[in-house]
Amino acid sequence: MNDPVQLLIDAGAIPSSPFVAQSRYSGVPLAVLQRHPGDPGIAFVRRRFIPAAGSTPIAAIHRVAAQDRPDLLGATYLGDVLLYWRIADANGVIDPHELTDTLGRRIVIPRVSGL
């Protein structure tokens, strides 16, 4: 039996990834967890590995000031609020709000090719 949704994905009528190109999950493979035979399964995003600390080229160092937010840093330095995660990855933080929780903290702004 042919899955009509899969046929549309294969034809390019529906994007194969549910994530926008700027997303930290863009390009990360999806998988399905099946708990028993015949189970339609639960779709999930596979593990995403972040670069090792210190391996990201640095474009700038930013000192956190009042009113700084991860999304605003993404807009200011990378030109898109959705790219805040690149700054979080470059600083080895999982929760992006850790970037701006401490006034005066120095955070690395990565050099991102293609921007």
Pick 9 or 78 by higher pLDDT: 78
Q: Do 29 and 70 belong together in one domain?
A: no
Helices (H), the chain: 4-10, 70-73, 84-90
**Residue at 50 is within a domain:** no
Eight-class DSSP state of 18? S
Confidence of residue 74 (pLDDT cuts 50, 70, 90): very high
The answer to whether the CB of 52 falls within 8 A of the CB of 104 is no
Measuring CA to CA, how many Å separate 73 from each of 2, 20, 42, 44, 115?
A: 46, 19, 35, 29, 15
What is the per-residue pLDDT for 5?
67
CATH code of the domain covering residue 95: 3.10.350.10
Count structural domains, the chain. 2
Average pLDDT of the chain to the nearest whole number: 86
68 and 91 co-located in one domain: yes
What's residue 38's pLDDT? Answer: 86
The model carries a pTM of 0.72
